[in-house]
Structure 1
Amino acid sequence: MDRVQRGRLEHALKAGHAYPVHPDGLRLAGVDPIDQNSHWEYRCRDAKTLLEILDVQCSVHQLPANGELRTFYYRGHRDASWPLLPSVFRSANGRDGSNNNFDAHYHGGDQTYEINQYCNFLEAVNSQGMFIEEEAFELLRHHRQGSHDTESWVFRDLNSKIVPTTFPSSGQLRTLALAQHYGIPTRLLDWTKNPYVALFMATEAIDSVEEMKREINFGIWMIPKVLFDVTSAFKYFFVIDVSKFQNANISAQHGCFSLHIPPLEDVLADRHTFPVSRSNSSFMHLDEYLCDSNGDALHEEFLNRITGKPMLLTLKSNEVGLIRQKLDQLQMNWTTLMPNLDGAAKEALRRQRMDRIIG
């Protein structure tokens, strides 16, 4: 951050242009938050409580943010214990993040795996005659050639695998987001601006009576937009919006993507650092990264007075019945979220599962 931008942020605090939030968390729909250090957890009593918190009339949505109503980014997890960890770290060892190790990623081949999968996706997209950003196509060209011709563009990891230091560049982010959306493991995380999309994603696969009886909590993450904005001002963080014409599914799902892991080039040039935990050499979960000021007093003041923490709403899976009634009322299903034949097929299979449960 340059001095001018820092000065503007300091002035905003002193002049009261930045609106404060309750620093100790808010009681919502009769539920007191549990401080989990990097986020507030709200253990909802029932489906009605969860729906009340997500509703725009709930007090948390009425908090002002730069003169406007506070808005959030949402993400649904079928299991509330799953961390906010990009899929490339979950590719080898499941959803629990046990593969989340910095040395393994940069010296054990994970980054090579991420780029190879991305380039395979680009190759397939290109073969269909679809648009690819210029910088993404340049990466694909180097990948085809083995990258031996441009040593300034790459480095060799401990296994002598060649990896581009510039990945991901700003001109590769939208196609990287498309790859993430279609299931390619990347360093991005999916988000939606619609809470009911997140609710559908968290609950649509809870499809057996036995699973409901186990009473595993599902979770809905709510992160204030102002927290994303402040993080991007102080350190490496991007929200990536894919143009609506590029993908109807992402548009229907009000989707966007976050990125908090910088390219190696920025780290080597001391422009940014990798978000690595000081205690165990693993990549920070996104909620940890968002709440880490890295010793910057101004950043800490914004976190304490302005942004608030991420919020995680949790609910037992056996409460999913009322949730589904609400989603049906809103016509929230695969047909509307994937307006194509793939969506129609997924919805047909989902309804078959639901009929089996009801029957």
Structure 2
Amino acid sequence: MPDNNEFRPTSWSELINLLYDIPETEFGRIRSDFVYRGVADKNWGLDTSLQRLGGIFEKLERPLLRNFKKYATPGSIPEGNQWIQITVAQHHGLPTRLLDWTTSPQVALHFATYELNHYDKDGAIWCIDVCAVRDLLPRDLRRILSDQWAFVFSVEMLDKLSDLDDIDRLKYYDPFVLFFEPPSLDARIVNQHAVLSVMPDAKMFLHDYLAKHPEIYKKIIVPAGLKWEVRDKLDQDNVCERTLFPGLDGLSLWLKRYYSPKK
């Protein structure tokens, strides 16, 4: 992937300026067109958890989801809407073709800096312009967003794509990526300002798509030398595991990291 979309700040203020370089809208508001994904290592790609399985991963998607629903505690997975079901699966760590994003630059910064064992490596924030992505969608999908005056889909707006088979049929068009907001199933999804992306074929790789459309993304490096400063300032702003993963598990993760010595 070309690196002329890559930006490398040398200070906290420069990093924040890059992330919040947001023009004023026609309504006089400062509203970003971007979604963000933070990674601890800048060399990590944008593979989905399903793709990271390797092998014939594309054949495993349906068995994984089928058995997830079969073995789940009764009532723990909503009936009917498969977009909600696959969101729940992704939310609980099942390999899927979905990829996690956020509308919050600071949440993305958290995910670029919460793993202390990667502090010797530069992290990165992937930023994708969802307005530009919308213009590259098949016409019928563009019309849905236009009619709803929306930039990303909700699961209700995806009614015409009721399951993976429906979206797979769209792979015969030009490749595209679709972003949707998951339902507010719990505080974690809400607090993380979650957005999910999906492509019309489990074998499609997002980094290949971005390489063909460099105008829709930028990549902001989080230098290893800045990570401790970024991390401490995020903690001061209450952007941490305790708030992003509400509950005892998130609290324990935050305390473990917060009291770890600087190396």
Aligned residue number for residue 4 of structure 1:
none
For structure 2, the 5+ residue unaligned runs are 140-173
Checking the alignment, whether the CA contact within 8 Å between 2:77 and 2:85 is kept in structure 1 is no
Query: 1:20-99 to 2 correspondence within 5 Å?
Result: 36-37=1-2, 40-55=5-20, 58=21, 61-62=22-23, 64=25, 69-91=31-53, 99=54
- Relative to structure 1, is the Cα distance of residues 39 and 256 closer, same or farther in structure 2, using a 3 angstrom cutoff? farther
Aligned residue number for residue 288 of structure 1:
208
Checking the alignment, whether the CA contact within 8 Å between 1:174 and 1:242 is kept in structure 2 is yes
Aligned residue number for residue 191 of structure 1:
101
- Relative to structure 1, is the Cα distance of residues 318 and 290 closer, same or farther in structure 2, using a 3 angstrom cutoff? closer
Identity %: 27
Residue 85 of structure 2 aligns to a residue in which SS? helix
- The one-letter code sitting in structure 1 at the alignment partner of 2:209 is Y
Question: 1:133 and 1:351 mapped to 2: Cα distance?
Answer: 40
1:140-168 deviation per Cα after TM superposition (whole angstroms, max 9, x unaligned): xxxxxxxxxxxxxxxxxxxxxxxxxxxxx
Residue 222 of structure 2 aligns to a residue in which SS? strand
Checking the alignment, whether the CA contact within 8 Å between 2:49 and 2:95 is kept in structure 1 is yes
Say which of 117, 128, 138 aligns to 2:64.
117
Q: 1:54 Cα shift?
A: 1.7
Instruction: Provide TM-score, normalisation by structure 1.
Output: 0.56
Aligned residue number for residue 167 of structure 1:
none
RMSD, aligned α-carbons: 2.8
For structure 1, the 5+ residue unaligned runs are 1-35, 92-98, 135-170, 264-282, 293-302
- Work out the number of aligned pairs and report it: 227
- The one-letter code sitting in structure 2 at the alignment partner of 1:218 is G
Query: 1:111-260 to 2 correspondence within 5 Å?
Result: 111-125=58-72, 127-134=73-80, 171-207=81-117, 212=119, 214=120, 216-233=121-138, 236-244=176-184, 246-260=185-199
Question: 1:179 and 1:39 mapped to 2: Cα distance?
Answer: 36
Question: 1:39 and 1:176 mapped to 2: Cα distance?
Answer: 35
Q: Which structure is larger by alpha-carbon Rg, 1 or 2?
A: 1
Question: 1:185 and 1:237 mapped to 2: Cα distance?
Answer: 18
Checking the alignment, whether the CA contact within 8 Å between 2:112 and 2:222 is kept in structure 1 is no
- Relative to structure 1, is the Cα distance of residues 205 and 65 closer, same or farther in structure 2, using a 3 angstrom cutoff? farther
Return the structure number with greater relative CO, CA threshold 8 A, min gap 6.
2
Question: 1:224 and 1:63 mapped to 2: Cα distance?
Answer: 15
